[in-house]
Amino acid sequence: MKACLLSAALLLLAASQGRANLIVNGSFENFTTSGAPNDTNFGNFIRFFGPPDTASNTELTGWTITGSSGGNPNNVDLVNSSLYPAFAGNWSLDMEGNVGASGVIQQSFATTPGQLYQLSFAYGNNPSGSGGTMQVLVTGNGTLLDDSVSHNTSSAANMNYNLFSADFTADSSTTTLQFEATTNSGFGVVLDAVEVDPIPEPASLTAWALAAAGLAGWRWRKGKRATA
């Protein structure tokens, strides 16, 4: 019984700590390259082109570079840490590629209507420029989250990444997350570590609390026996 309670508590603890990220390749570590017109590989960064240069581009695994922004060419730069440090792993995404480009990327994922989710990501700005702004949009049947972030304090020595976090409630079985640069200097918001995690229902929190209480009780009794 004690072992059983202990296992249950540990399992629940592991589940609460191991966040179930619904976003594929949220750290932008995985990609393919095929050359023009989809990408240009500069070595320490790769420029991925979307519309109007290509119909859409899925070379950035999990993501679609799509849409357009004000008629500008849509492209983003995947930047290696050798140029400036990523927040996680070796790569981060500059939302503005060419001068004049305002990148638009999106990813859809399965959701449960009525379930609460947390979107989080890290953002800085390409230190070669003077800062950038990006729209953050989450849509299901309707708009679930519409926000904007700006950043202008990054340097190659200290990217000074900020962490964004906001909740939304799904209203359909598929939800789409979209990031769109709204500035186009060619040195935009740097994006990394994108996550969407379901927020546990109060019922599972109660189960966790009960299991944790059981574990505490077991430890207390064990301690009491040891000192007796």
Rounded to 5 degrees, what are φ and ψ at 118? -115, 125
The span of 5-13, 78-86, 109-117, 207-215 binding Ca ion (CB under 5 A) equals 78-86
Determine if 89 is a binding residue for Ca ion (CB under 5 A). yes
Determine if 88 is a binding residue for Ca ion (CB under 5 A). yes
For the CB of residue 227, give the shortest distance to Ca ion in the complex, in Å: 49
* CB 134, CB 149: distance < 8 Å: yes
* CB 54, CB 37: distance < 8 Å: yes
For the CB of residue 24, give the shortest distance to Ca ion in the complex, in Å: 13
For the CB of residue 109, give the shortest distance to Ca ion in the complex, in Å: 18
For the CB of residue 195, give the shortest distance to Ca ion in the complex, in Å: 12
Helix (H, G, I), strand (E, B) or coil at 92: strand
For the CB of residue 170, give the shortest distance to Ca ion in the complex, in Å: 26
Determine if 192 is a binding residue for Ca ion (CB under 5 A). yes
Helix (H, G, I), strand (E, B) or coil at 16: helix
Helices and strands (H and E) in the chain: how many: 2, 12
DSSP bridge partners of 93: 78, 191
The span of 32-40, 98-106, 179-187, 188-196 binding Ca ion (CB under 5 A) equals 188-196
Residues 9, 86, 134, 211: which binds Ca ion (CB under 5 A)? 86
> 135 vs 6, 26, 73, CA distance in Å?
45, 17, 17
Site residues, Ca ion (CB under 5 A): 27-28, 86, 88-89, 91, 192
